[in-house]
Amino acid sequence: MVFNIHILGSNSAVPTLKRHPTAQLVNHNERFYLIDCAEGTQLQLRKYKYKLQRIGNIFISHLHGDHFFGLIGLISTMHLLGRKKELHIYGPAELEKVILLQLEVSQTELIYPFHFHPIDPQKSEMIYENEKLTITTIPLNHRIPTCGFLFREKQGKRRLIKNVINNLDIPVDQFSKIKSGADFIDANGKTYKNSDLTMDPYPIRSYAYCSDTKYHEPIIDIVKKVSLLYHEATFMHDKADVAADKFHSTSSEAATIAKRSEVGKLIIGHFSTRYEDPQDLLQEARQIFNNTDLALDGSTFAVAPEPK
């Protein structure tokens, strides 16, 4: 089951020709989730050949322009291209006003069902759930109310060992019970122990998105041992004062959160425009947390099982 993170933008504050501001596309089990939507995100989706109509849910972390100015354009393009599928947007309550006002002044009545779900960035709560995944908010510490998002797979059932099951001629209606841990008793009364019939469930995978925030230790408990952590790293640590003043993090701080959270892997982004080549940011992070990569525009990260 696919669980990939596609980076659509990695710059902070303003778009540049090399790096777009923040947006990420999450593909979990062929369901597509968009996190943040800076100006130009719809073009980034085109550039990297992702189908924008497949996005079903959009999550906006906070209302700084470099995280949502592309949203109205995306909503509008979905409309103009004839979308029928419903769209769900999760974000701070004022975002709904911004969307509705822009639809109103352009006299646009969306032709697809549009649902807005206000979120409270101050507390961690589950805001989305399907049969395989939950999404929970991560309160962050930024200049305005901001939260990250934790995508975590649900614990699956035990997996049938196919050739054993097939040899025993087990009725299909027993499968669900066996997957839940039951033994099997055949027509002659012979018992087959569950451990002989099944394997452990697939290991859980998780992805935590944390942008924008200053160094904020309460994050640690929430993202503890996630498979993959995205944490903003706007500045090098020699600009720690600037970072704190602007409610952003340094690369070292991002790596410290990753290390203390014992995550599987860290990716960093939201780089200040001053860093034309963010390699130094990467090297700085790796001094503290070695399994770090740059979340550059166009890169894709497969989410691995959570670390033990």
Kindly list the catalytic residues. Answer: 66
Among 1, 2, 4, 16, binds a second copy (CB under 8 A): 16
Among 85, 143, 154, 274, binds a second copy (CB under 8 A): 143
Nearer of residues 15 and 264 to a second copy, judged by Cβ: 15
Distance CA 273, CA 215 (A): 20
Which runs of E-coded beta strand occur in 84-205?
87-91, 114-118, 126-129, 133-139, 147-153, 159-160, 184-185, 191-192, 198-199
CB atoms within 10 A of CB 84: 9
Q: Give the CA distances from residue 239 to residues 167, 236, 267, 289, 301, in Å, rounded to whole numbers and listed in that order.
A: 65, 6, 20, 19, 28
Nearer of residues 59 and 69 to a second copy, judged by Cβ: 69
Phi and psi torsions of 159, nearest 5°:
-105, 130
Among 14, 111, 126, 161, binds a second copy (CB under 8 A): 14
Total residues at interface with a second copy (CB under 8 A): 36
Element (H, E) at 57: strand 55-59
Query: Nearest approach, Cβ of 66 to a second copy (angstroms)?
Result: 8
Burial of 291 (0-12, 13-18, 19+ CB in 10 A): middle
Among 69, 90, 271, 275, binds a second copy (CB under 8 A): 69
Tell me if 105 contacts a second copy by CB under 8 A: yes
Query: Nearest approach, Cβ of 61 to a second copy (angstroms)?
Result: 13
Among 22, 24, 42, 249, binds a second copy (CB under 8 A): 42
CA-closest candidate to residue 268, choices 224, 211, 220, 223: 211
Query: Nearest approach, Cβ of 107 to a second copy (angstroms)?
Result: 5
Name the residues that contact a second copy, by CB under 8 A: 13-17, 39-40, 42-43, 46-47, 63-65, 69-70, 72-73, 76-77, 80-81, 92, 94-95, 97-98, 101-102, 104-108, 143-144
